[in-house]
Amino acid sequence: MRRKIFPVIVFSLFLALSSISLAERKEVKAMFGAHAWKDVIIANLPQFEKETGIKVEYEVLSEDVLFERAILELTSGTGSYDVIADVIEWVAPYAATGGVEPLDKYDAKYQLNLKDKIAAVRKAHMFKNKQYSLPINCGSRMFYYRKDLLAREGLSVPKTWEELKTAAKKLTKGNTYGMSMSARKGAIGVLNWMPWFWAAGGREWDGHRVKFNSEAGIAATQLWIDLINSKSTPPGITNFAIDDNKSGIMRGTIGMASFETAAALDLANQSKNPYAASMGFDLVPARFKKTKRTATAVLGGWGFTLTKQSRNKDAALKFLAWATSKSMDQKFALTFGQGAYPESYTSEAVVQKFPALPFVLNTLNGAKTLFPIPENQELADILTTELTAAFSGQKTAKQAMDDATSRMNDVLAKAGY
């Protein structure tokens, strides 16, 4: 009998010891997105690993691939990853899978500094009032203009759409186009059009249904159709992304534009932009003088989520606390001019390097998230499809907004809203 019991005891001890060693294994597996923040984190990882003894293994994936892999990982719940990066639009889909852990309860213990982050940004990383993601960086959209070109035509900075149309027409000369926007089909097109919708006093979503065929929606679409038809915009704007606008301004072929705040850093940099000294930044012009120009930008930015199936939550949370700490945030801001804490945008060293940052912070404070629901990808796809159909002359502004509203409401009704 003893002979039989002995191997069983040894085997049990072995199992117990190995499970202890697994539990104490200080290793975090993460999915990073291909953005500048990952370079800063990777460069500083050796220091983190030395201080904590936690080894961080990571994979860097492009935005599209990351979203697909993350959703599949979170729904299958294999626990292969402890930390997965997200962008604001993915917070709701990630949370809907049930595979990510709300982080509120860990705030105090791990010093996640939730309350110290830019309020609008922190809120954008929430779903159903729970903090599912920790912001890493953020950006929004704003209005760029060349002060010298406006001055040459005797124009002041446009504050209304009528002033904008007049200025766009006057600035369009030779190889220079008056006004531009990132209007490419995709999330980018929606994010850049929404400020104009809000600047017309539009309200897109009441929690149940959308209403883009409102006066504001049709007017915002018509504004861009008018700008395109009057040839005040570059001919290819329905395929324009951030770099097309940025390089256009740097080449002197675009006088005014509305697109991502991330470009402000290069545009205000004299070594990169020959017109840097003449660059001006503002919120997008309002439809009428009386329209309040506050929340006129859509938030964008990256964050980190903790998977529910993580086998190393303690190590993962320590990594998250470090990667989203104030000191790392300063490094992000100094490297690529973005962060998640307000002080990173106003610190002397950062502002000296990126003078446009205090204004960017101004746009972030009033910025909002678009459709904070899991179906947001489908809604955004419908909206961008209809917008580009209108911009390319396939539909009128009213037809496009009617179709967008009807198709989006079908999706919402089907999803039970």
Partner 1 sequence: LQIQTHSLKKNIFPIVMVLPALLIIFGVIVYPMLYAFVMSFCSFELLKMYQGIHFIGLQNYIAALKDPNFINSIRLTFKFLLIVIPVELVVGIAVAMVINSDHIKGKKIIRGLIIVPIMITPIVVGLMWLYMFDYDIGIVNYLLTSIGIPKINWLGDVDFVIKAVSIAEIWQNTPFVILLVLAGLEGLPREPYESALVDGANAWTSFLKITLPLLKPVILVALLLRTIDAYRVFGLVLALTNGGPGTATEVASMYVYKNGFKFWHIGYSSALSFLMLFIVLIVGLLYLRFLKVGWEET
Sign of the CA dihedral running 239, 243, 247, 250? positive
Q: Can you tell me which of 186, 201, 252, 342 binds partner 1, judged by CB under 8 A?
A: 186
The residues, any chain, with a CB within 8 Å of residue 397's CB and separated by 6 or more, are 218, 219, 221, 222, 225, 390
207 binds partner 1 (CB under 8 A): no
Task: Choose, by CB under 8 A, the member of 161, 381, 383, 409 that binds partner 1.
Answer: 381
Considering only 114, 345, 386, 397, the residue that binds partner 1 (CB under 8 A) is: 386
- 41, 121, 47, 129: which is closest to 320 by C-alpha? 41
Rule CB under 8 A: say whether 274 interacts with partner 1.
no
Pair of tokens at residue 155: 């124009």
**Counting runs of H as helices and runs of E as strands, what totals does the chain give?**
19, 11
State phi, psi for 52 to the nearest 5 degrees: -110, -20
Structure tokens at 106: 């860990």
The residue (of 319 and 371) whose beta carbon lies closer to partner 1 is 371
According to the binding rule CB under 8 A, does residue 389 interact with partner 1?
A: yes
Q: Is 184 in the site for partner 1 (CB under 8 A)?
A: yes
Which of 33, 70, 82, 93 binds partner 1 (CB under 8 A)? It is 93
The owner of tokens 């500048």 is: 36
The SS3 assignment for 135 reads strand
Part in contact with partner 1 (CB under 8 A); list of ranges 151-159, 212-220, 258-266, 384-392: 384-392
Could you say whether residue 396 binds partner 1 (CB under 8 A)?
A: no
Which of 404, 83, 144, 164 has its CA nearest to residue 278? 144
Q: What distance in Å separates the CA atoms of residue 382 and residue 223, rounded to the nearest whole number?
A: 20
185 counts as binding partner 1 under rule CB under 8 A: yes
Q: Which residues on adjacent β-strands are paired with residue 254?
A: 177
> Residue 97 interacts with partner 1 (CB under 8 A)?
yes
Our CB check for partner 1 shows the closer of 51 and 410 to be 410
Q: Which of 369, 346, 323, 312 is nearest to 87 (CA)?
A: 369
Helices 376-391, 215-229: crossing angle, 10 deg rounding: 40
CB of 395 to partner 1, least distance (A): 7
How many residues in the shown chain lie near partner 1 by CB under 8 A?
34
Least gap, CB of 388 to partner 1 (angstroms): 4
Taking a C-beta distance cutoff of 8 angstroms, is the pair 91, 132 a contact? yes
- For partner 1, which is the closer residue by CB, 316 or 383? 383
Assess 111 for contact with partner 1 (CB under 8 A). no
Is 213 near partner 1 (CB under 8 A)?
no
What's the one-letter identity of residue 379? L
Query: Among residue numbers 63 through 82, which ones bind partner 1 (CB under 8 A)?
Result: 68, 71, 75
Q: Is 337 left (phi over 0), alpha (psi -120 to 50) or beta?
A: left
Q: Using the rule CB under 8 A, is 366 a contact of partner 1? A: no
Residues 310-320: b if buried by 16+ CB within 10 A, e if exposed: bbbbbbbbbbb
CB closer to partner 1 out of 325 and 377: 377
Q: By CB under 8 A, is residue 133 in contact with partner 1?
A: no
Closer of 187 and 317 to partner 1 (Cβ)? 187
Of residues 288-327, those binding partner 1 (CB under 8 A) = none
Binding residue (CB under 8 A) for partner 1 from 395, 405, 408, 409: 395
Measured in degrees and rounded to the nearest 5, phi and psi for residue 212 equal -90, -15
Site for partner 1 in 216-245 (CB under 8 A): 234-239
Smaller CB distance to partner 1: residue 230 or 253? 253
The nearer residue to partner 1, 120 or 218, going by C-beta atoms, is 218
- By CB under 8 A, tell whether 378 contacts partner 1: yes
Region of 13 on the Ramachandran plot (φ > 0 left; ψ -120 to 50 alpha; else beta): alpha
Q: What is the contact surface with partner 1 in residues (CB under 8 A)?
A: 68, 71, 75, 93, 96-98, 175, 184-186, 234-239, 248, 253, 374-375, 377-378, 381, 384-386, 388-389, 391-395
